[in-house]
Amino acid sequence: MPGSTRVIEPMDPAGDEIRDFIARFLTAIADGDQEMAESMFEGGRVESLMLRMLIEASSAGNDIGAAANATFPNDPKLERLPMSVAARLRAKVERMRGYEPVIVGRARDGGRYASSAPLLPFYRSLELLEREGRWQVVSFDLANREASQIAEALSNNARSARDVAAKLRAGRYASIDVAIADLEDGYGRSMPPPRPVY
């Protein structure tokens, strides 16, 4: 996709425009705001499915946190809840603002191109293009097969979180420890092994 590129180092204000756009995109996903996230995305069919599953897994992660806090309020073991997709995305936003470079350049069609540092273990980077003065995320830098596998894993991740949240609200767990073990088991079965990041 890119032609010539250059790296904008962390803390360089030249990268603020791109970092801010990516931060808003990832925050929309973490908040479960499908309308906002999809308005900032122009990827292909399979990657669009992956985006929807990222949003679903984030919403489910927020749900499990709310259910656990409501069922076992002030329990110090709540800190041991497995890190959700939403929490990982928010942590990425915090890191990105001061500690990560971005790549910018010209796409082959002459428009502006940008790329972020890798986000989660299962994709390489976000790729952006500026179209008519407006940035859009156009790719998670994944082959269709990888994106399909990850979308399925995220769907399973969301299902596990929703199931545990429902059990929490129904009073099915005697302690937060049992809920955490159940959630860890579900997450462990749902997510693919981490892919190498190049």
pLDDT tens-place string over residues 97-116: 767 788 888 877 778 889 88
Check whether 197 has a pLDDT greater than 50.
no
CA-to-CA dists, residue 118 to 67, 115, 127, angstroms? 31, 9, 10
At 146 the pLDDT is 77
In the chain, how many domains are there? 1
Measured in whole angstroms, the distance separating CA 167 from the mean position of its chain's CA atoms is 25
Is 177 inside a domain boundary?
yes
Using alpha carbons only, give the angle 123, 125, 127 rounded to the nearest 5 degrees. Answer: 130
Is 197 inside a domain boundary?
no
Q: With beta carbons less than 8 A apart as the criterion, state whether 30 and 58 touch.
A: yes
Is 54 inside a domain boundary?
yes
| Residue 40 belongs to domain spanning | 2-190
CA-to-CA dists, residue 80 to 24, 33, 77, 177, 192, angstroms? 27, 26, 5, 9, 21
Is 29 inside a domain boundary?
yes
Is 198 inside a domain boundary?
no
Measured in whole angstroms, the distance separating CA 198 from the mean position of its chain's CA atoms is 18
pLDDT exceeding 70 applies to what percent of the chain? 88
Chain segment 166-190, per-residue pLDDT in tens: 999 999 999 999 999 999 888 777 6
Give 192's DSSP letter.
P
